[in-house]
Amino acid sequence: MPEGPEIWRTADALNDALQGKTISELYFAFEELKQHEPELKGMEIQKIEARGKAILTFFEDDRVMYSHNQLYGKWMVRANGAKPNTNRKLRVAIHNTDQSAYLYSATDIEMLSQEEVPAHSYIKKLGPDVLHPDTTYEDVIAQYRSDSFQNRKLTTLLLDQGFVSGIGNYLRSEIMFYAKVDPHKKLREYSDEEKEALAKATVKLTKRSYETGGITNDPSIVEALKREKAKRSEYRHFVYNRTDDRCHKCGQIIEEEKTGGRKIYFCPNCQQVD
């Protein structure tokens, strides 16, 4: 499933293609949305925003299309009405005179009013989104200090969209590594300094991933590895999906564990794992 940085980059691409432009054609696959096709044709799209792992498309009237990619959904943008070569099931198509945006395979699509957006069952439960322009570092560190989360295991908590939205499996392992914390503890077991390190890592690596197209590793390490002709998979992350490779920081072997049915990756030396 795409994580927050990927969803925000998708929203950027959709804004480039659709924002401020008049809809020339519109298609919805689901019968309950069909009524909106003729009503929205000829309107402009005001903006597209990411919310956690969902995308909101705001039309010039009061309507907002909520869509969640879930595991298999994917937006694709093409110029001049060209259609992607894919076997995926088309769910939504939005056309203007220059660009077309297609949503494939997603099953969670709804039409809301702007007033209904904050009360939506998914959106109302979201924690602060690091990439939202209104979110501050203080919002993030407040989550790490909140009594509501202290008895939660960190590895589970970081995947809870009600804690900090947009974090998924790769950011989880990368954040714990960058903060230099043992991943096996409950939040209350970390010191104030470690919680601050986690909050800073959450902000820094989420923004870095958004800005670089998914790279969380330090830029200096990335550039050095690129000069050595390393593959993207070798320089993209500190620890995620690098089992049995050497840590970029200390040379120790990266380890993996399964927790809650999903893997975490860590450096036992940098993260002081017993």
DSSP-assigned states of every residue in 88-114: SPEEEEEE-SSEEEEEES--EEEEEEG
C-alpha to C-alpha distance for 8 and 49, rounded to whole angstroms: 7
pLDDT digits (tens, 9 = 90+) for 15-30: 999 999 999 999 999 9
C-alpha to C-alpha distance for 81 and 227, rounded to whole angstroms: 40
Q: What is the mean pLDDT of the chain?
A: 95
**What is the number of other CB atoms lying within 10 angstroms of the CB of residue 267?**
24
Task: Tell whether pTM > 0.85.
Answer: yes
Q: Please give the structure tokens belonging to residue 263.
A: 């893997």
Q: Please give the structure tokens belonging to residue 39.
A: 């009503």
Q: Where are the beta strands (DSSP E) in the chain?
A: 25-28, 45-51, 54-59, 63-68, 74-79, 90-95, 99-104, 108-113, 255-259, 262-266
Percent of the chain residues past pLDDT 90, beyond the cut: 93
pLDDT per position in the chain (274 positions), as tens? 679 999 999 999 999 999 999 999 999 999 999 999 999 999 999 999 999 889 999 999 999 999 998 878 899 999 988 999 999 999 999 999 999 999 999 989 999 999 999 999 999 999 999 999 999 999 999 999 999 999 999 999 999 999 999 999 999 999 999 999 999 999 999 999 999 999 999 999 999 999 999 999 999 999 999 999 999 999 999 999 999 999 999 999 999 999 888 999 999 999 998 7
How buried is 196 (Cβ within 10 angstroms: 0-12 exposed, 13-18 middle, 19+ buried)? middle
Residue 13 one-letter amino acid: A
**Burial state string for 226-238 with b = 16 or more CB within 10 A and e = fewer than 16:** eeeeeeeebbbbb
Q: Spell out the residues 6+ positions from residue 136 whose beta carbon is closer than 8 angstroms to its own.
A: none
Q: Spell out the residues 6+ positions from residue 160 whose beta carbon is closer than 8 angstroms to its own.
A: 127, 152
CA 64 to chain centre: 20
- Active-site residue list: 2-3, 53, 262
Calculate the alpha carbon distances from 61 to 34, 42, 58, 239, 254 in Å.
Answer: 17, 11, 8, 46, 52
- Which is nearest to 4 in space by CA: 127, 141, 142? 127
All structural domains of the chain = 4-123 (3.20.190.10), 137-266 (1.10.8.50)
